[in-house]
Structure 1
Amino acid sequence: MVVNKCLAITTTRAISISTTSTTSPLLLISSSLSTPNLPLSLSRPNPTTLSLNPSLRPISLYRPPMNILNKLGFGFKPSPDPSSMENSSIAQGPDDDVPAPGQQFAQFGAGCFWGVELAFQRVPGVTRTEVGYTQGFMHNPTYEDVCTGTTKHNEVVRVQYDPKECSFESLLDAFWARHDPTTLNRQGNDVGTQYRSGIYFYTPEQEKAAKESLEQQQKLLNRQIVTEILPAKKFYRAEEYHQQYLAKGGRFGFKQSTDKGCNDPIRCYG
């Protein structure tokens, strides 16, 4: 089952059924079954107004990748494009991008990549962040492809950092602090394999540090950590509107600080 973050919060709509003499009780029906996904930049309008005049619904540039039945595990899930299947070896190959001189890469998956990216943007010594998709078998996946749950990609942040100013251990501290590593394929209301906890290493030193850090974290928790620690694979940069999403204002236009060391609460959806 995959529940997209854009559909994590649903509203209900009251429909009054009238007769000539009496009015039946209101029937509450989930609007997620019939109301299109609302734009990221707009607050959700009054559902009663929408039920009375459907033409008032705002037009969203974003189209949900699946209908709600597919998201709940029913109905048909489209198969990956055959050409993408043929190039699965590329998707499963190592990340061959090169960081800036003197810099290193690291990849982390910890739920919705919007909030995770902002957390890493604030870490001193981090010089660049990008959100994207990795660890799947489809070549060049789109956000809609990933949301089907069939490509096995994870939403990740690729962090570029200066090892002279930021240790890999500092990045691990930010990673553990940002999410719950004991929930399998889930962070809060975001459910699906794309929200799994993962550390994807580029060097043997990163692998060693990640495994030692996991052991230390496990001693602090009373539930089993399900974080996967795997070699970094091909990184596919997400669509531009996902990049630095919260720093640019998120869905409500309120920019969140990227200042190094900032401790302001992160509003995951803006």
Structure 2
Amino acid sequence: MHLLRPTTATITTFTTTTSSSAFLITSHSSSPLSLSTVPTRAAFPSSPYYPTKHSSSLSSPQKMSSWLGKLGFGARSPTESPTDPSLSSSIPQSPDTDPPAAGQEFAQFGAGCFWGVELAFQRIPGVTKTEVGYTQGYVDKPTYNDVCSGTTGHSEVVRVQYDPKECSYETLLDAFWARHDPTTLNRQGNDVGTQYRSGIYFYTPEQEKAALESKERQQKILNRKIVTEIMPAKKFYRAEEYHQQYLEKGGRFGFKQSTEKGCNDPIRCYG
């Protein structure tokens, strides 16, 4: 975490849609800041973005550092979360062996901030459970703080449990592509960092095949190279409880968003 120098920051929220695909992107513009780049949501865990224009003044780097420290985002030692796999436990790189409910199957997707992604999957008929968490990293039992440090290699993901008799894996893939921009490396909008990378993490050879074919079809639609990684599902670490069903519970402002199956209401990504 870099200390911020005194500045007045203006953060503006807007949405864009592309003509080549149906994904929804939430982005932000700001006045020039005298600071090093940090993932916005890491600095403002309750809600990094605001539905309307919002201005705030930071009086001093000391006060900012103290404030961030109280929230659990103080400076970290380089040795706290090693990025070298040889220095880390092999457990995080093992397969996800958690069993789904009887007759159900798992799927894992990373598409930026997991709050809005989870709600999109919650609304799909045939999806019976969703959980947000961390995977693909090198540190065992990571916390949100660890993941936001950018040193553990984890991705924010949604683990979807679905009934294959009511919901096909291809339906989940369609929702995945529609939810984000798969051509931006390690970022979605103003969320920047490896934890926001685009990824499909498969459990079976059939899922892998479907994912690769889906990516190929999607690439023909887009005019920029897709950077989505397609890899085996690894150990899933469930995120802290306040992250679970965050938007369903009301997000930052307490405005609950519908999880009704088939609901097409716009998703307010941060509440």
TM-score tier, shorter chain, comes to 0.7 to 0.9
Taking structure 1 as reference, are residues 179 and 236 closer, same or farther at Cα in structure 2, changes over 3 Å only? same
- Residue 160 of structure 2 corresponds to which residue in structure 1? 159
Alignment of 1:150-229 (within 5 A): 150-229=151-230
- Once the two structures are TM-superposed, the CA of residue 88 in structure 1 deviates from its matched residue by 2.0
- Residue 79 of structure 1 corresponds to which residue in structure 2? 80
Q: 1:12 aligns with which of 6, 9, 14?
A: 9
Q: Unmatched 5+ residue regions in structure 1? A: 14-27, 71-75
- Residue 251 of structure 1 corresponds to which residue in structure 2? 252
Alignment deviations for residues 102-131 of structure 1 (CA, whole Å, 9 cap, x no partner): 000000000000000000000110000000
- Residue 63 of structure 1 corresponds to which residue in structure 2? 71
Instruction: Give the secondary structure class of the aligned counterpart of 2:178.
Output: helix
Corresponding position: 1:110 with 2:111: yes
Taking structure 1 as reference, are residues 130 and 85 closer, same or farther at Cα in structure 2, changes over 3 Å only? farther
Corresponding position: 1:40 with 2:50: no
Alignment deviations for residues 65-110 of structure 1 (CA, whole Å, 9 cap, x no partner): 355xx8xxxxx6443279x976621100000100000000000000
Q: Distance in 2 between matches of 1:178 and 1:119?
A: 7
In 2, are the aligned partners of 1:12 and 1:30 still within 8 Å (CA)? Answer: no
- Once the two structures are TM-superposed, the CA of residue 11 in structure 1 deviates from its matched residue by 4.8
Instruction: Give the secondary structure class of the aligned counterpart of 2:220.
Output: helix
Identity %: 71
Alignment deviations for residues 120-179 of structure 1 (CA, whole Å, 9 cap, x no partner): 000110000000000011110011111111110000000000000000000000000000
In 1, are the aligned partners of 2:208 and 2:230 still within 8 Å (CA)? Answer: yes
Instruction: Give the secondary structure class of the aligned counterpart of 2:90.
Output: helix
Q: Distance in 2 between matches of 1:231 and 1:268?
A: 27
Taking structure 1 as reference, are residues 163 and 218 closer, same or farther at Cα in structure 2, changes over 3 Å only? same
The two structures have a TM-score, normalised by structure 2, of 0.76
Instruction: Give the secondary structure class of the aligned counterpart of 2:177.
Output: helix
Q: Distance in 2 between matches of 1:61 and 1:162?
A: 43
Q: Distance in 2 between matches of 1:187 and 1:217?
A: 18
Taking structure 1 as reference, are residues 125 and 32 closer, same or farther at Cα in structure 2, changes over 3 Å only? same
CA RMSD of aligned residues (A): 3.4
In 1, are the aligned partners of 2:9 and 2:55 still within 8 Å (CA)? Answer: no
How many residues are matched? 235
- Residue 237 of structure 1 corresponds to which residue in structure 2? 238
The two structures have a TM-score, normalised by structure 1, of 0.76
Q: Which amino acid aligns with 2:240?
A: E
In 1, are the aligned partners of 2:118 and 2:130 still within 8 Å (CA)? Answer: yes
In 2, are the aligned partners of 1:137 and 1:151 still within 8 Å (CA)? Answer: yes
Instruction: Give the secondary structure class of the aligned counterpart of 1:158.
Output: strand
Instruction: Give the secondary structure class of the aligned counterpart of 1:206.
Output: helix
In 2, are the aligned partners of 1:39 and 1:62 still within 8 Å (CA)? Answer: no
Larger radius of gyration: 1
- Once the two structures are TM-superposed, the CA of residue 265 in structure 1 deviates from its matched residue by 0.7
- Residue 146 of structure 2 corresponds to which residue in structure 1? 145
- Once the two structures are TM-superposed, the CA of residue 258 in structure 1 deviates from its matched residue by 0.5
Alignment deviations for residues 169-196 of structure 1 (CA, whole Å, 9 cap, x no partner): 0000000000000000010000110000
Of Structure 1 and Structure 2, the greater strand share is in 2
Taking structure 1 as reference, are residues 176 and 60 closer, same or farther at Cα in structure 2, changes over 3 Å only? same
Taking structure 1 as reference, are residues 60 and 246 closer, same or farther at Cα in structure 2, changes over 3 Å only? farther
Taking structure 1 as reference, are residues 215 and 62 closer, same or farther at Cα in structure 2, changes over 3 Å only? farther
